[in-house]
Amino acid sequence: MLIQDQVFIVTGSSAGIGAACATSLAAKGGRIVINCTKSEEDARGVAAACEAAGGAAIVVQGDVSVDADCHKLAEAALSSWGRIDGLVNNAGTTKFAAHADLDALDAADFQRIYGVNVIGPYQMVRAVAPAMRAQGRGVVVNVSSVAGLLGVGSSVAYAASKGALNTMTMSLARALGPAIRVNAVCPGFVETGWLESGLGAAYARQKEAFEAMTPLNSVLSVDDVADAVLWLIEGAQHVTGILLSVDSGLHLGGFLRR
């Protein structure tokens, strides 16, 4: 898929991986719907960066766990540019909790995390699918996590939600082809302010541990993840239903040996 003049919705794109995806698409001439839940000022900064990179951008506030907001995002893209070519489901949330502490999570935690990480992407796909089908093509990339492959990460609820997102990726790839391709990127440890805030004082120690345990002795930048997302959009025309691990080899099991 050529990105020039194509229209993409990137959820959760006011910072981090979402912002990197948005600006990378804009640098190739894309037209981007920037989405935020609360941080509208940050989202407008990303939109400005997209325009400076050579693309076009609008900002739409909305919570993907709310179906009406998902339709609002789709309608904003259609009213601005008349089409929707791609969707990057990046919005996500978690609660940091040790996996062994079964009292650290309750039903409300699971429901909130699943609402954003699983139901949100489903609702976004449902909102954009009619336009993509009418055009005869479209692409969806879900930003998942190796947590969903390995049962690791910030909490049991987060890992479970990403496992569900991975399964849903394959299910939707079957259901929506041939017009719509659906894939997922599964990053490992990514250097973001979101993760640093969540881990607090443990961030530097965790980063060093992940660098030591992976075959490539490295962690990821947000641009590394954005590069993988862009490949699935523009360079993988015969690829659908894959779970692409971008994790410096973490999925090979170094953490088990450690």
* Residue 56: strand pairing partners: 31
d(CA 143, CA 195): 15
Q: Tell me the CA distances in angstroms from 25 to 4, 17, 176, 223, one per residue in order.
A: 9, 12, 23, 12
What tokens were used for 167? 């399964």
Distance CA 198, CA 201 (A): 9
Per-residue DSSP letter, 200? G
Q: Are 33 and 78 in contact (CB under 8 A)?
A: no
Residue with structure tokens 């969806």? 140
Q: In this structure, are residues 50 and 87 in contact, taking their beta carbons and an 8 Å threshold?
A: no
Give the number of other CB atoms < 10 A from CB of residue 204. Answer: 10
Q: What is the C-alpha separation between 144 and 58, in angstroms, rounded?
A: 25
What is the radius of gyration, based on Cα positions, of the chain? 17
Active-site positions? 158
Task: Identify the residue whose tokens are 């699935």.
Answer: 232
CA distance 97 to 158: 10
3-state secondary structure of 246: strand
d(CA 142, CA 207): 24
